Amino acid sequence: MTAKNNKTVIVGMSGGVDSSVAAALLKEEGYKVIGLFMKNWEENDEFGNCMASYEYEDVIRVCDSLDIPYYSVEFIKEYQDNVFREFVEGYQKGHTPNPDVLCNREIKFKAFYNKAKEFGADYIATGHYCQTDAQARLIKGLDTGKDQSYFLYMVNSEVLKEVLFPIGHLEKKAVREIARKYNLSTKDKKDSTGICFIGERNFKNFLSNYLKPQAGPFQNLNGDLVGEHSGAAFYTIGQRKGLGLGGPGEPWFVVAKDIDKNIVFVERGLEHPALFTDELYLKEITWIKESYEAKFPVKLSGKVRYRQADQCLEVFPQDDGLYRVRFDIPQRAVTLGQSLVLYDGDICLGGGIIEKIGKTYFEMNKDLPKIVSR
Which DSSP state fits 270? T
Instruction: Quote the mean pLDDT of the chain.
Output: 91
What is the pLDDT at residue 48? 43
Q: Quick check: 50 and 42 in contact, CB under 8 A?
A: yes
Which of 159, 181, 203 is at the close of a domain? 181
Kindly state the DSSP code that residue 179 receives in the 8-state scheme: H
74 vs 39, 112, 113, CA distance in Å?
5, 10, 13
Segment 120-134, tens digit of pLDDT: 999 999 999 999 999
Q: Which domain holds residue 60?
A: 8-181
Q: How far apart are CA 247 and CA 264, in angstroms?
A: 18
What's the mean pLDDT in 256-275?
97
User: At CA 127, angle to CA 126 and CA 129, rounded to 5?
Assistant: 115
Task: Describe the strand order of the beta sheet including 123-125 as a list of residue ranges.
Answer: 70-74, 32-39, 8-13, 123-125, 163-164
pLDDT of residue 4: 56
- pLDDT for 213-243, tens place per residue? 899 999 999 999 999 999 999 999 999 999 9
Clarify whether residues 344 and 249 are in a common domain: no
Question: Using omega within 30 degrees of 0 as the cis cutoff, is the peptide bond preceding 297 cis?
Answer: yes
Tell me: do 346 and 243 sit in the same domain: no
Residues 288 and 260 in one domain: no
Q: Are residues 240 and 280 in the same domain?
A: no
43 — pLDDT class (breaks 50, 70, 90) = low
DSSP codes, 333-364: S--TTSEEEEEETTEEEEEEEEEEE--BTTTT
108 and 242, same domain (yes or no): no
| More confident of the two residues 5 and 114 | 114
Contact 22, 126 (CB under 8 A): yes
pLDDT band at residue 45 using 50, 70 and 90 as cut-offs:
very low
Residue 196 lies in a domain: no
Sequence-ordered list of residues with C-beta below 8 angstroms from that of 190, at least 6 positions apart, any chain = none
Sign of CA dihedral 281, 284, 285, 290: positive
Find the mean pLDDT for residues 80-92: 92
pLDDT, average across residues 350-355: 97
Catalytic site positions: 103, 196
Please state whether the predicted TM-score (pTM) of the whole model is above 0.85.
Answer: yes
Averaged over 96-108, what is the pLDDT?
Answer: 93
Does some domain include residue 76? yes
* 165 neighbors 125 (Cβ within 8 angstroms): yes
* pLDDT at residue number 194: 57
Residue 5 pLDDT > 70:
no
Residue 44 has pLDDT above 70, yes or no: no
Residues 169 and 237 in one domain: no
Specify the number of domains making up the chain: 3
Distance CA 312, CA 143 (A): 21
List 360's β-bridge partners, or say none: 277
299 and 257, same structural domain? no
In eight-state DSSP terms, residue 37 is E
Percent above pLDDT 90 for the chain = 81
Q: Are strands 298-303 and 347-357 parallel, antiparallel or unpaired?
A: unpaired
Q: Give the pLDDT of residue 197.
A: 54
- Please determine, for residue 49, whether its predicted confidence score (pLDDT) is greater than 60: no
pLDDT score, position 19? 96
> How would residue 2 be classed by pLDDT, with cut points 50, 70 and 90?
very low
Q: 262 lies in a domain?
A: yes
Is residue 23 within 8 Å of 8, Cβ to Cβ?
Answer: no
CB atoms within 10 A of CB 318: 9
CATH of the domain at 103: 3.40.50.620
Whether residues 50 and 91 share a domain: the answer is yes
Specify the DSSP element, H or E, that contains 103. helix 99-103
Q: What is the DSSP letter of 135?
A: T
Of 268, 298, 333, which marks where a domain is finished? Answer: 268
Per residue in 165-180, pLDDT (tens digit) is 999 999 999 999 999 9
* Same domain membership, residue 262 and residue 217: yes
| Minimum mean pLDDT range among 180-184, 196-200, 249-253, 303-307 | 196-200
Residue 186's closest CA among 104, 53, 65, 37? 65
- CA-to-CA distance for 372 and 374, rounded, in angstroms? 7
Assess if residue 337 is contained within a domain.
Answer: yes
pLDDT of residue 193: 60
Residue 259 belongs to domain with CATH number: 2.30.30.280
